[in-house]
Amino acid sequence: MTTNAPKSISISVGDELPPFALDVTSTVIVAGAIASRDFMPAHHDPVFAKAQGAPDVFMNILTTNGYVARYVTDWAGPEAMLKSIRIRLGAPAVPGKVLHFSARVVDKREGGGECLLELAVRAANELGDHATGTVTLSLPVG
Amino acid sequence: MGDAQADPVRERLERYVGKPMGPASVAPDPVNVPMIRHWVDALDDRNPVYLDEALAATTRFGGLVAPPAMLQVWGMPRPKIEGIAERGGAPNEMRFENPISALDEAGYVGTLATNSELEFLRYLRPGEQLELSNEVESISSRKTTSLGQGYFVTWVTTFRTTEGEVVGRQLFRILKFDPSTIDLTKLQVPR
Protein backbone atom coordinates (compact mmCIF):
# COMPACT_ATOMS: atom_id res chain seq x y z
CA MET A 1 0.00 0.00 0.00
CA THR A 2 2.73 2.44 1.00
CA THR A 3 4.82 1.96 -2.10
CA ASN A 4 1.90 1.78 -4.55
CA ALA A 5 0.11 4.91 -3.34
CA PRO A 6 -0.07 7.57 -6.06
CA LYS A 7 1.66 10.92 -5.59
CA SER A 8 -0.84 13.72 -5.81
CA ILE A 9 1.12 15.25 -8.71
CA SER A 10 0.40 12.13 -10.79
CA ILE A 11 -3.37 12.20 -10.20
CA SER A 12 -5.64 13.82 -12.79
CA VAL A 13 -9.33 14.58 -13.02
CA GLY A 14 -10.92 11.67 -14.86
CA ASP A 15 -8.63 9.03 -13.36
CA GLU A 16 -10.44 5.85 -12.40
CA LEU A 17 -9.62 3.96 -9.24
CA PRO A 18 -8.94 0.24 -9.63
CA PRO A 19 -12.23 -1.62 -9.13
CA PHE A 20 -12.80 -3.66 -5.99
CA ALA A 21 -15.24 -6.57 -5.66
CA LEU A 22 -16.40 -7.38 -2.13
CA ASP A 23 -17.72 -10.91 -1.73
CA VAL A 24 -20.59 -10.07 0.62
CA THR A 25 -21.37 -12.93 2.99
CA SER A 26 -23.38 -13.14 6.19
CA THR A 27 -20.05 -13.08 8.01
CA VAL A 28 -19.01 -9.83 6.32
CA ILE A 29 -22.32 -8.23 7.27
CA VAL A 30 -22.40 -9.47 10.87
CA ALA A 31 -18.71 -8.73 11.48
CA GLY A 32 -19.22 -5.14 10.32
CA ALA A 33 -22.42 -4.68 12.30
CA ILE A 34 -20.90 -5.86 15.56
CA ALA A 35 -17.60 -4.01 15.04
CA SER A 36 -19.72 -0.88 14.62
CA ARG A 37 -21.75 -1.67 17.77
CA ASP A 38 -24.94 -1.93 15.71
CA PHE A 39 -27.13 -4.65 17.20
CA MET A 40 -30.17 -4.00 15.03
CA PRO A 41 -31.51 -7.52 14.27
CA ALA A 42 -31.84 -6.79 10.53
CA HIS A 43 -28.03 -6.92 10.36
CA HIS A 44 -27.60 -10.36 11.94
CA ASP A 45 -30.98 -12.18 12.11
CA PRO A 46 -32.32 -13.39 8.74
CA VAL A 47 -35.75 -14.22 10.21
CA PHE A 48 -36.14 -10.67 11.48
CA ALA A 49 -34.79 -9.19 8.23
CA LYS A 50 -37.21 -11.21 6.07
CA ALA A 51 -40.15 -10.28 8.32
CA GLN A 52 -39.27 -6.66 7.53
CA GLY A 53 -39.46 -7.37 3.81
CA ALA A 54 -35.72 -7.62 3.16
CA PRO A 55 -34.35 -10.59 1.18
CA ASP A 56 -31.87 -11.47 3.96
CA VAL A 57 -29.69 -9.75 6.55
CA PHE A 58 -28.29 -6.60 5.01
CA MET A 59 -25.22 -4.44 5.55
CA ASN A 60 -25.55 -1.54 7.98
CA ILE A 61 -24.67 1.98 6.95
CA LEU A 62 -21.65 2.23 9.22
CA THR A 63 -20.11 -0.77 7.47
CA THR A 64 -20.93 0.66 4.04
CA ASN A 65 -19.15 3.89 5.03
CA GLY A 66 -16.25 1.82 6.33
CA TYR A 67 -15.85 -0.06 3.06
CA VAL A 68 -16.11 3.15 1.04
CA ALA A 69 -13.35 4.64 3.19
CA ARG A 70 -11.24 1.51 2.89
CA TYR A 71 -11.70 1.40 -0.89
CA VAL A 72 -10.48 4.98 -1.23
CA THR A 73 -7.52 4.69 1.14
CA ASP A 74 -6.46 1.32 -0.31
CA TRP A 75 -5.80 3.43 -3.42
CA ALA A 76 -4.73 6.74 -1.92
CA GLY A 77 -2.43 5.30 0.75
CA PRO A 78 -1.63 6.06 4.38
CA GLU A 79 -1.03 9.78 3.80
CA ALA A 80 -4.63 10.23 2.64
CA MET A 81 -6.91 12.16 4.96
CA LEU A 82 -10.61 11.80 4.27
CA LYS A 83 -12.60 15.02 4.60
CA SER A 84 -16.07 13.69 3.89
CA ILE A 85 -18.09 10.69 2.74
CA ARG A 86 -21.47 11.68 1.34
CA ILE A 87 -23.60 8.80 0.10
CA ARG A 88 -27.09 8.15 -1.08
CA LEU A 89 -28.32 4.71 -0.11
CA GLY A 90 -30.15 2.40 -2.47
CA ALA A 91 -30.25 -1.36 -2.99
CA PRO A 92 -29.34 -3.44 0.06
CA ALA A 93 -26.00 -5.26 0.29
CA VAL A 94 -27.00 -8.85 1.01
CA PRO A 95 -25.20 -12.23 1.25
CA GLY A 96 -24.33 -13.83 -2.06
CA LYS A 97 -24.42 -10.63 -4.10
CA VAL A 98 -20.95 -9.28 -4.88
CA LEU A 99 -20.59 -5.57 -4.23
CA HIS A 100 -18.59 -3.80 -6.93
CA PHE A 101 -16.80 -0.59 -5.92
CA SER A 102 -15.71 1.97 -8.48
CA ALA A 103 -14.65 5.60 -8.32
CA ARG A 104 -13.40 8.42 -10.50
CA VAL A 105 -11.54 11.62 -9.71
CA VAL A 106 -13.94 14.47 -10.50
CA ASP A 107 -12.07 17.43 -9.00
CA LYS A 108 -8.53 18.29 -7.95
CA ARG A 109 -7.26 21.51 -6.42
CA GLU A 110 -4.63 22.76 -4.04
CA GLY A 111 -5.35 24.70 -0.91
CA GLY A 112 -3.99 25.10 2.58
CA GLY A 113 -0.85 23.20 1.68
CA GLU A 114 -2.84 20.14 0.67
CA CYS A 115 -4.00 18.58 -2.56
CA LEU A 116 -7.77 18.20 -2.32
CA LEU A 117 -9.44 15.49 -4.38
CA GLU A 118 -13.10 14.80 -4.94
CA LEU A 119 -14.10 11.31 -6.02
CA ALA A 120 -17.42 10.12 -7.39
CA VAL A 121 -17.90 6.72 -5.77
CA ARG A 122 -20.28 3.86 -6.45
CA ALA A 123 -20.90 0.51 -4.81
CA ALA A 124 -23.34 -1.64 -6.77
CA ASN A 125 -24.59 -5.21 -6.87
CA GLU A 126 -26.98 -7.03 -9.18
CA LEU A 127 -29.92 -5.41 -7.35
CA GLY A 128 -28.70 -1.93 -8.31
CA ASP A 129 -26.73 0.89 -6.73
CA HIS A 130 -26.12 0.18 -3.06
CA ALA A 131 -24.37 3.49 -2.39
CA THR A 132 -23.46 6.38 -4.65
CA GLY A 133 -21.90 9.66 -3.70
CA THR A 134 -18.74 11.64 -3.23
CA VAL A 135 -15.67 11.28 -1.08
CA THR A 136 -13.34 14.23 -0.54
CA LEU A 137 -9.82 13.67 0.68
CA SER A 138 -6.50 15.39 0.90
CA LEU A 139 -3.00 14.26 0.10
CA PRO A 140 0.27 16.06 0.72
CA VAL A 141 1.19 18.32 -2.21
CA GLY A 142 3.74 16.82 -4.59
CA MET B 1 -50.78 12.56 -5.01
CA GLY B 2 -51.76 14.03 -1.69
CA ASP B 3 -48.59 16.06 -1.32
CA ALA B 4 -50.43 19.33 -1.41
CA GLN B 5 -53.40 18.28 0.71
CA ALA B 6 -53.93 19.66 4.19
CA ASP B 7 -51.57 17.80 6.44
CA PRO B 8 -52.17 18.00 10.18
CA VAL B 9 -49.24 15.64 10.88
CA ARG B 10 -46.85 18.00 9.12
CA GLU B 11 -47.97 20.84 11.34
CA ARG B 12 -47.26 18.74 14.42
CA LEU B 13 -43.80 17.97 13.07
CA GLU B 14 -42.90 21.63 12.61
CA ARG B 15 -42.06 22.12 16.27
CA TYR B 16 -39.17 19.66 16.07
CA VAL B 17 -37.32 21.43 13.24
CA GLY B 18 -34.19 23.27 14.32
CA LYS B 19 -34.42 21.78 17.80
CA PRO B 20 -32.22 19.25 19.58
CA MET B 21 -33.30 15.64 19.09
CA GLY B 22 -32.88 14.23 22.55
CA PRO B 23 -30.30 15.21 25.12
CA ALA B 24 -26.60 15.46 24.30
CA SER B 25 -24.69 12.29 25.18
CA VAL B 26 -21.18 11.15 25.94
CA ALA B 27 -19.70 8.29 23.91
CA PRO B 28 -19.68 5.06 25.95
CA ASP B 29 -15.94 4.63 25.42
CA PRO B 30 -13.10 6.94 24.42
CA VAL B 31 -11.48 6.33 21.03
CA ASN B 32 -9.52 3.16 21.71
CA VAL B 33 -7.25 0.64 20.01
CA PRO B 34 -9.24 -2.54 20.86
CA MET B 35 -12.34 -1.21 19.06
CA ILE B 36 -10.17 0.02 16.19
CA ARG B 37 -8.58 -3.44 15.89
CA HIS B 38 -12.01 -5.09 15.90
CA TRP B 39 -13.12 -2.74 13.10
CA VAL B 40 -9.92 -3.14 11.06
CA ASP B 41 -10.26 -6.91 11.19
CA ALA B 42 -14.00 -6.93 10.47
CA LEU B 43 -13.52 -4.79 7.37
CA ASP B 44 -10.06 -6.14 6.51
CA ASP B 45 -8.78 -2.55 6.28
CA ARG B 46 -4.99 -2.74 6.33
CA ASN B 47 -4.22 0.98 6.27
CA PRO B 48 -1.22 0.99 8.65
CA VAL B 49 -2.01 4.37 10.24
CA TYR B 50 -4.69 2.69 12.37
CA LEU B 51 -2.55 0.06 14.15
CA ASP B 52 1.12 0.23 13.05
CA GLU B 53 2.53 2.76 15.49
CA ALA B 54 6.01 2.90 13.93
CA LEU B 55 4.71 3.46 10.42
CA ALA B 56 2.01 5.89 11.53
CA ALA B 57 4.73 7.99 13.17
CA THR B 58 6.37 8.50 9.77
CA THR B 59 3.18 9.82 8.14
CA ARG B 60 1.74 13.30 8.40
CA PHE B 61 -0.44 12.02 11.23
CA GLY B 62 2.65 11.53 13.39
CA GLY B 63 1.07 8.60 15.22
CA LEU B 64 -1.92 6.28 15.37
CA VAL B 65 -5.31 7.63 14.30
CA ALA B 66 -8.76 6.11 14.27
CA PRO B 67 -10.40 5.10 10.97
CA PRO B 68 -12.43 8.16 9.99
CA ALA B 69 -15.55 6.14 9.18
CA MET B 70 -15.58 5.00 12.82
CA LEU B 71 -16.80 8.48 13.79
CA GLN B 72 -20.36 7.22 14.07
CA VAL B 73 -19.21 4.07 15.86
CA TRP B 74 -17.86 6.02 18.84
CA GLY B 75 -21.29 7.45 19.45
CA MET B 76 -23.29 4.24 19.20
CA PRO B 77 -25.31 3.83 22.38
CA ARG B 78 -24.97 0.77 24.56
CA PRO B 79 -27.84 -1.48 23.46
CA LYS B 80 -30.43 -3.16 25.61
CA ILE B 81 -30.56 -6.52 23.82
CA GLU B 82 -33.73 -7.71 25.52
CA GLY B 83 -36.68 -6.47 23.50
CA ILE B 84 -34.56 -4.98 20.70
CA ALA B 85 -36.55 -6.79 17.99
CA GLU B 86 -39.85 -5.56 19.46
CA ARG B 87 -38.44 -2.03 19.34
CA GLY B 88 -37.74 -2.49 15.62
CA GLY B 89 -34.02 -2.57 16.29
CA ALA B 90 -33.79 0.64 18.31
CA PRO B 91 -31.02 0.10 20.88
CA ASN B 92 -33.07 1.78 23.59
CA GLU B 93 -36.48 3.26 24.21
CA MET B 94 -36.49 6.83 22.96
CA ARG B 95 -37.77 8.52 26.08
CA PHE B 96 -37.67 12.02 24.67
CA GLU B 97 -40.02 13.85 22.35
CA ASN B 98 -38.84 13.27 18.80
CA PRO B 99 -40.25 13.33 15.27
CA ILE B 100 -39.51 9.65 14.59
CA SER B 101 -41.70 8.45 17.45
CA ALA B 102 -44.32 11.03 16.46
CA LEU B 103 -44.38 9.62 12.93
CA ASP B 104 -44.55 6.04 14.24
CA GLU B 105 -47.60 7.02 16.26
CA ALA B 106 -49.19 8.62 13.21
CA GLY B 107 -48.87 5.33 11.28
CA TYR B 108 -45.64 6.08 9.40
CA VAL B 109 -43.98 3.04 10.95
CA GLY B 110 -41.67 2.14 8.04
CA THR B 111 -38.10 3.44 8.09
CA LEU B 112 -35.68 3.65 5.17
CA ALA B 113 -32.32 5.39 5.45
CA THR B 114 -31.66 7.42 2.30
CA ASN B 115 -28.59 9.60 2.93
CA SER B 116 -25.52 9.72 5.14
CA GLU B 117 -23.05 12.59 4.95
CA LEU B 118 -20.01 12.25 7.17
CA GLU B 119 -17.68 15.21 7.56
CA PHE B 120 -14.30 14.86 9.26
CA LEU B 121 -12.68 18.05 10.52
CA ARG B 122 -9.69 16.06 11.70
CA TYR B 123 -8.74 12.50 12.53
CA LEU B 124 -9.15 11.23 16.08
CA ARG B 125 -6.50 9.68 18.29
CA PRO B 126 -6.81 6.92 20.88
CA GLY B 127 -7.78 8.37 24.23
CA GLU B 128 -10.03 11.15 22.95
CA GLN B 129 -13.52 11.23 24.43
CA LEU B 130 -16.41 12.44 22.31
CA GLU B 131 -19.70 14.10 23.08
CA LEU B 132 -22.62 14.04 20.65
CA SER B 133 -25.57 16.28 20.06
CA ASN B 134 -28.36 15.86 17.51
CA GLU B 135 -30.43 18.52 15.86
CA VAL B 136 -33.38 18.08 13.50
CA GLU B 137 -32.42 19.93 10.33
CA SER B 138 -35.59 19.49 8.30
CA ILE B 139 -38.75 17.47 7.85
CA SER B 140 -40.20 17.36 4.37
CA SER B 141 -43.80 17.81 3.39
CA ARG B 142 -45.66 14.53 2.92
CA LYS B 143 -44.29 12.80 -0.18
CA THR B 144 -45.64 9.96 -2.26
CA THR B 145 -42.89 7.41 -2.86
CA SER B 146 -42.64 3.85 -4.12
CA LEU B 147 -42.89 2.75 -0.48
CA GLY B 148 -46.06 4.70 0.14
CA GLN B 149 -46.63 8.12 1.63
CA GLY B 150 -44.09 9.44 4.03
CA TYR B 151 -41.81 12.16 5.29
CA PHE B 152 -38.08 12.66 4.92
CA VAL B 153 -36.56 13.47 8.30
CA THR B 154 -33.03 14.93 8.33
CA TRP B 155 -30.89 15.46 11.39
CA VAL B 156 -27.28 16.39 12.03
CA THR B 157 -25.11 14.86 14.72
CA THR B 158 -22.22 17.04 15.88
CA PHE B 159 -19.24 15.31 17.47
CA ARG B 160 -17.14 17.31 19.92
CA THR B 161 -14.24 16.50 22.17
CA THR B 162 -14.86 16.99 25.86
CA GLU B 163 -12.88 20.24 25.43
CA GLY B 164 -15.62 21.42 23.08
CA GLU B 165 -13.73 21.16 19.79
CA VAL B 166 -15.98 20.11 16.90
CA VAL B 167 -14.22 17.20 15.17
CA GLY B 168 -16.93 15.91 12.85
CA ARG B 169 -20.53 15.92 11.79
CA GLN B 170 -22.98 13.49 10.27
CA LEU B 171 -26.08 14.39 8.37
CA PHE B 172 -28.57 11.57 8.27
CA ARG B 173 -31.81 11.39 6.30
CA ILE B 174 -34.50 8.76 6.62
CA LEU B 175 -37.86 8.23 5.01
CA LYS B 176 -40.61 7.43 7.49
CA PHE B 177 -43.38 5.83 5.46
CA ASP B 178 -46.80 4.26 5.89
CA PRO B 179 -46.54 0.80 4.24
CA SER B 180 -50.33 0.60 3.88
CA THR B 181 -50.25 3.44 1.32
CA ILE B 182 -48.00 1.75 -1.25
CA ASP B 183 -49.01 2.58 -4.80
CA LEU B 184 -47.96 -0.47 -6.79
CA THR B 185 -48.04 1.50 -10.04
CA LYS B 186 -45.05 3.52 -8.76
CA LEU B 187 -41.97 1.41 -8.65
CA GLN B 188 -39.14 3.92 -8.83
CA VAL B 189 -36.71 4.43 -5.99
CA PRO B 190 -38.01 7.08 -3.59
CA ARG B 191 -36.45 10.53 -3.83
Question: DSSP letters of A61-79?
Answer: HHHHHHHHHHHHHHHH-TT
pTM: 0.93
Q: Which residues of A47-75 are buried (b: 16+ CB within 10 A; e: fewer)?
A: ebbeeeeeebbbbbbbbbbbbbbbbbbbb
Position B67 confidence tier, pLDDT thresholds 50, 70, 90: very high
Q: Are B177 and B146 in contact (CB under 8 A)?
A: no
| Contact list, B42 vs chain A (CB under 8 Å) | 31-32, 34-35, 63
Q: Is residue B35 assigned to a domain?
A: no
Position B95 confidence tier, pLDDT thresholds 50, 70, 90: confident
Residues A21-35 pLDDT 10s: 999 999 999 999 999
pLDDT at B183: 64
* Alpha-carbon span A65 to B118, nearest angstrom: 9
| Chain B residues 122-151 with CB within 8 Å of chain A | 123
Residue A104: strand pairing partners: A16, A120
Distance from CA of A106 to the nearest CA of B (A): 18
Q: What is the largest CA-CA distance in chain B?
A: 63
Question: Lowest-pLDDT range, A9-23, B28-42, B81-95, B177-191?
Answer: B177-191
Give the CATH number for residue B154.
Answer: 3.10.129.10
Partners of residue B168 in chain A, C-beta under 8 Å: none
Structural domain of residue B103, as residue ranges? Answer: 8-28+97-181
**Most A-contacting residue of B46, B47, B78 (CB-CB within 10 A), to test interface:** B47
Summarised one tens digit per residue, pLDDT across range B136-168 is 999 999 999 888 899 999 999 999 999 999 999
DSSP class per residue in B135-176: EEEEEPPPEEETTEEEEEEEEEEEEEETT--EEEEEEEEEEE
Determine whether the interchain pair B117/A40 forms a contact, defined as Cβ–Cβ distance below 8 Å: no
- The model's pLDDT over B104-118, given as tens digits with 9 standing for 90+, comes to 899 998 888 999 999
Domains and CATH numbers, chain A: 8-140 (3.10.129.10)
Averaged pLDDT score across all residues of chain B: 90
Q: In the predicted model, is pLDDT for residue B2 greater than 60?
A: no
- ipTM score assigned to the predicted complex: 0.96
**Whether pLDDT at B185 is above 70:** no
Region A85-105 average pLDDT: 97
Q: Tally DSSP H helices, then E strands, for chain B.
A: 5, 6
Shortest CA distance to A83 belongs to which of A49, A54, A111, A57? Answer: A111
Residue B131, domain member (yes or no): yes
Is residue A114's pLDDT more than 60? yes
When divided into structural domains, chain B yields a total of 1
